[in-house]
Structure 1
Amino acid sequence: MTGMTFSQIVHMDCTAYAWAMGNLALHMLMRMAEGVAGSAAWLGRGLSCVCAQRRESDARPSFDLTLAQEECLQRLQSRIDVAYDSSRPEHQEALRALWHAAFPEEELHGLISEQWKEMGWQGKDPSTDFRGGGFISLENLLFFARNYPKSFQNLLQKQEGDRSMWEYPFAVAGVNITFMLIQMLGLQAVKPRMLIGAIFLKLLSENESAFDLLYCIAFKLMDQQWLSMRASYMDFNTVMKSTRRQLERELLLEDVTRLEDMPSFNLLR
């Protein structure tokens, strides 16, 4: 079980997931006993997305959309449907751009390189980690790096707060956040079935970059939750649940008419 990839663990059902996490905990203790210092190559395998666990309270009537909202949803869904393809030049360029945004002073030796572990990918080939979030998860990371570079670097370098010795790997956590938001907002349905999804589509119709911006907010909020909970490796799923609940609460606030009105937006610099 310890050889499974991040994306395989994400899509397991709850019973199998609990069993996997028990085995993973045992594996982690074994690695600690061997004196391994928490490398991203194996840390990432322990991350799973809370969004894969459905709740009965999520089932709600669908909401009608305006023509503008419907068009925005379709454009976003077309992005979500794109898998990362390492043979496509535009995907290769986006990955290189992400590296240069993250490490502007360090030359990248190749799209398959041990260097990628510095960013928190599981191995030397990031393409294997995009299966859980698709190409949009790379676009999210790149949007974050370009639009909020200080916050991006703070998270990448773990520069703020009293950090755990067993930290979450940055890039794999980013893919997890993309997947969580897609599920939380019900973006793969023809119409939103939850109020939170309907609210978001209204925001999206007024700001085409709303999903990318919400991603940045969610990443910063997740890290804040991580620090406030004094979390470590095996607490990641609990942190993700807390992050999702806080995002839902803020999006439902009456005075939030745009994402910049969310209290957590202030976490971005």
Structure 2
Amino acid sequence: MSNSEKESIRHRLGKGKKLTNEIPTKVEDDDDDKKEEQEQGNPIEHAIAAVVEYVGYFFAKLSKFLSSKFTDVNEENDGKLETKLSESGLETMVYIRSRLDVKYDETQREHVDMLKILWRSCFDEDGVEFPLASKSSSSSLAASERQQQPRLGHASEKWKDMGWQGTHPSTDLRGCGVFALENLVYFSQTRKDLFKVLVEKKNGKRSDWEYPFAAAGVNVTHELTKLLDVDGIIRNGSVDETLRVDKCVVGFLELVRRRRTTSSSNNNNDNDSSINGGSSFRRKEAFVAAFHELYCDAFEILDQEWLLAEATYMEFPKVLERTIRVKTREKLERFAEEVRGLHNE
């Protein structure tokens, strides 16, 4: 520690004494003893100051060391990574963003079929039939004209039992489009038991004012895409290849890579470097599957956090934020640290 720093600490710990440039003109016999006492001050205060300074020095060194280990981390930019995403990484994020732009359309059989899958997952055991599309009230319309009319049917009060806020899911799907529906369908088909448990709120002591399951699912999709900053990838209509990205984005792309590796090992004839349609389809399948799995995990954590907090409906935003912004982020950042650790070995 420099003399100037020591002097600064002494003055800060002093008892309100003002600094002075006056030079004493007279020195008494006991001036040396008094001067020594003034310099020493309170020994406990000096000891505390010394410890604080040492600890601060130690952590500054540790922070510098960690920064050198993760050379892409820019401390002045909130821990984001100054990195150039790979072509595969860019393709992943752009594709997910594009799925958010696909609006639910009842004239598309694929979209209606997804609703049927959800309906069967929830109500088949009750024997409740899927609500049929409403027919045109005008018999004078030609068949071709009727086919062009939007199918505004499938409305039912039973949709509310699944946790949609209205009598038809399309109202809730306006924000994230059909991608939120895809997430729910994947959940219902790959984790059937957990899906039923969460829909029917079977676990734990539940609140009298429960969160609506399906609407919560749309919110999980929305928050995950915000966490991954999919909107930040496209700048002025083009892809920015030198984006600053959070560690959680790197972690998510590692999940995609592992998913593709698993898929490739199960399809020995697949060549990821090829540009044929089959390979492209499998790449996109890996993108979406990795997001779906992250979605299912987040939804399970959401319910656990809800029960732990003994939350009510009005507290849902806080529970959702803790689930995505804390728990899910921590998970993805661990993956990112594993990757960067391997690269620096």
1:189 pairs with one of 229, 232, 237: 232
Match of 2:320 in 1: 240
1:170 aligns with 2:180: no
SS of residue paired to 1:108? coil
Cα drift, residue 253 of structure 1:
1.9
Query: Structure 1 pair 162/146, CA: closer, same or farther in 2 (3 Å)?
Result: same
Query: Structure 1 pair 168/64, CA: closer, same or farther in 2 (3 Å)?
Result: same
Match of 1:199 in 2: 251
Which one-letter code corresponds to 1:249 in the other structure? E
Uncovered stretches (5+) of structure 1, i.e. residues with no partner:
1-56, 259-269
Q: Aligned equivalents of 2:109 and 2:335: distance in 1?
A: 44
Match of 1:262 in 2: none
Match of 1:107 in 2: 129
1:217 aligns with 2:297: yes
Match of 2:331 in 1: 250
Cα drift, residue 59 of structure 1:
8.5
- 8 Å contact 2:250–2:336 — kept in the other structure? no
Cα drift, residue 85 of structure 1:
1.7
Which one-letter code corresponds to 1:156 in the other structure? V
1:160 aligns with 2:213: no
Moved more, 86-95 or 132-141: 86-95
Deviant stretches of 4+, over 4 Å:
254-258
Q: Aligned equivalents of 1:168 and 1:157: distance in 2?
A: 11
1:141 pairs with one of 175, 179, 184: 184
Cα drift, residue 151 of structure 1:
0.5
Query: Structure 1 pair 181/58, CA: closer, same or farther in 2 (3 Å)?
Result: farther
Query: Structure 1 pair 175/117, CA: closer, same or farther in 2 (3 Å)?
Result: same
Query: Structure 1 pair 253/71, CA: closer, same or farther in 2 (3 Å)?
Result: same
Query: Highest CA radius of gyration, 1 or 2?
Result: 2
1:75 aligns with 2:156: no
1:49-98: per-residue Cα shift (whole Å, max 9, x none)?
A: xxxxxxxx869455311222222223222222212122222111111111
Which one-letter code corresponds to 2:129 in the other structure? E
Uncovered stretches (5+) of structure 2, i.e. residues with no partner:
1-76, 133-153, 234-242, 260-285, 340-345
1:116-175: per-residue Cα shift (whole Å, max 9, x none)?
A: 111011111110110122101000000000000000000000000000000001010000
Bigger relative contact order, structure 1 or 2, given CA contacts below 8 A and separation 6+?
A: 1
Query: Structure 1 pair 168/256, CA: closer, same or farther in 2 (3 Å)?
Result: farther
- 8 Å contact 1:121–1:171 — kept in the other structure? yes
Query: Structure 1 pair 63/98, CA: closer, same or farther in 2 (3 Å)?
Result: farther
- 8 Å contact 1:177–1:219 — kept in the other structure? yes
Cα drift, residue 213 of structure 1:
0.4
Query: Structure 1 pair 160/256, CA: closer, same or farther in 2 (3 Å)?
Result: farther
Count of aligned pairs between the two proteins: 203
Q: Aligned equivalents of 2:92 and 2:321: distance in 1?
A: 27
1:231 aligns with 2:253: no
- 8 Å contact 1:115–1:124 — kept in the other structure? yes
Q: Aligned equivalents of 2:111 and 2:160: distance in 1?
A: 19
Which one-letter code corresponds to 1:214 in the other structure? L
Q: Aligned equivalents of 1:100 and 1:250: distance in 2?
A: 32
1:129 aligns with 2:172: yes
Cα drift, residue 203 of structure 1:
1.6
Which one-letter code corresponds to 1:86 in the other structure? E
Q: Aligned equivalents of 2:215 and 2:308: distance in 1?
A: 21
Q: Aligned equivalents of 1:205 and 1:189: distance in 2?
A: 21
1:95 aligns with 2:115: yes
- 8 Å contact 1:72–1:205 — kept in the other structure? no
Query: Structure 1 pair 205/71, CA: closer, same or farther in 2 (3 Å)?
Result: farther
